Amino acid sequence: MDDFSYELEGMRKLRRMTMSQIREWSDGGVTGMCYSYLKPAVKLSRVTGKYIPVGMCEDESGIEDEGNVCNPELGVLEFADAYAQMEEDGTLDSSTRFLLLKNIIHSFNDRYRREYDSPEPSLKELNCFINAAMAMQRYDNEMVPVSLKAELFREIGLFGQVQYMCKKFEGAPGLEEVLSHALNGKTRPFVTRRYIPER
Q: Encode pLDDT of 99-128 as tens digits.
A: 999 999 999 999 999 888 889 999 999 999
pLDDT tens digits along 6-20? 455 555 544 554 555
pLDDT tens digits along 120-158? 999 999 999 999 999 999 999 999 999 999 999 999 999
CB atoms within 10 A of CB 111: 15
Amino acid at site 186: K
Residue 25 β-bridge partners: 191
Query: Which residues have a Cβ under 8 Å from the Cβ of 167 and sit 6 or more positions away?
Result: none
Look at strands 30-31 and 23-25 and give their pairing. Answer: antiparallel
